[in-house]
Amino acid sequence: MSLSAVEIIIKKREKGELSKSEIDWLISNYTNNQISDEQMSSMAMAILLNGMSREEIKHLTQAMIDSGERMDFSELSKPTADKHSTGGVGDKITLPLAPLVASYGVAVPQLSGRGLGHTGGTLDKLEAIPGWQANLSNQEMFDQLEKVGAVVCAAGSGLAPADKKLYALRDVTGTVEAIPLIASSIMSKKIAEGTASLVLDVKVGSGAFMKNIESAQKLAETLVSLGKDSGVKTSAFLTDMSTPLGRKIGNALEVEESIEVLAGGGPADVVELTLKIAQEMLALSGIEADPAENLNNGKAMDKWREMISAQSGDLSAPMANAKHSEKVYASKDGFLELDALGVGMASWRLGAGREKQGDKVQDAAGVVLHKIQGDEVKSGDLLAELFTDSAEKMEGSKLDMENAANIVQRSERKPIVLRELR
């Protein structure tokens, strides 16, 4: 059968359902540079506007998996479980979570990414630790999983290369929010990674891609069905991202806060979500345990040190300190409403994030919150401190932070976990 990119684009533009052979042909030829970015941009927009059926998304995900290699952890002596977050502000859950779950004899293969825009990247955070290396070969990753039980590293170039091309295209064509493209992007990497079970943390609110619970629910349902269709034990939590997670936002700052959690302290919301996801990962792996036990007895911290050391990180070496800092104070009495997107933009502008792929981030840049959503404040109370190496970035960041901190007559904190899907 002779296929044409233009005919397939028109079919989707007219709300037709694409066949498996059409989707396979499209992804294969795009990966091999036989279909232009202009044509795939049109297809991405047609998908955003008209959607895809469950079967189409399933075929799209499989085609993206088939564009590269698949990892196989079946020879490991322990079960595998992974977690994926759709991204937010102050979301450092992977850092305490991976060693905590590994402390129960589960292998956690965390192929992570870098931040873009206001959402932080796990690799950027860990690279604030002197010496830590993100890039491992497949064999090095396998060996570390067998020996240590947890690894956080960059995905190799051979894993779902179609996704890398399509992800970059979506970012510059206004199609990031297309649920079929988000779902196939996430799940193609996770299924190709070879994990046996997966817990998805789908963020909802101003600091997330999904701004409302209806779109987040739809995305979560799609992700869970894709996982189950591929034989991966999959569940999802919808979690609040209308306000930042924790009190520290920025790369080195979030490492500091993660270590506080592993030491048995840290903010209540970070601890709660870490334990919730850990318990679900353990349950999917057939292990009944209360993860709070290993968080409090030091076993998770021991595993963290082992995990970081295995990738050449030196936890005894000091992390970077920012050259400049400013404080933000309450302008009146009331209760604090703290908008996640505004705080994320302040941190990004300070240098904690990047405008485009390839930009360098500042390890020490970011925001420390002294008051959080729902706190009662008095005029003159310290709300936040801002940190950067670039004094010229401070003015705009301070304005972002002031705009994000609304003082109102009444404010409440939402529950962290809004819904659960299994």
Q: Which residues pair with 407 in a beta bridge?
A: 336
Decide if 189 is catalytic: yes
Q: Which of 163, 201, 339, 375 is catalytic?
A: 163
Whether 134 and 123 have beta carbons less than 8 Å apart is answered as yes
Contact predicate 352/365, CB 8 Å: yes
Q: Is 185 annotated as catalytic?
A: yes
- At 367, which helix (H) or strand (E)? strand 366-369
CA distances from 320 to 288, 301, 345, 387, 418 (A): 40, 22, 21, 11, 36
Among 195, 221, 241, smallest CA distance to 101 is for: 195
Could you say which of 83, 114, 164, 170 is catalytic? Answer: 170
Catalytic residue among 59, 84, 164, 303: 84
Residue 268: count of CB within 10 angstroms of its CB: 11
Active site residue 137: no
Active-site residue, from 12, 125, 189, 371: 189
**Which residues are CB-neighbours of 179 under 8 A, at least 6 positions away?**
51, 215, 218, 219, 222
Whether the CB-CB separation of 67 and 100 falls below 8 Å is answered with no
How big is the CA angle at 54 (ends 181 and 70), to the nearest 5 degrees? 60
**Which three-class secondary structure state does DSSP give residue 289?**
coil
Identify whether 163 is a catalytic site residue.
Answer: yes
User: Angle formed by the axes of helices 20-31 and 5-13, to 10°?
Assistant: 130
Q: Which of 42, 67, 112, 185 is catalytic?
A: 185
| Catalytic residue list contains 370 | no
Cβ contacts of 10 within 8 Å, gap of 6 or more? none
Residues with catalytic roles: 84, 163, 170, 185, 189
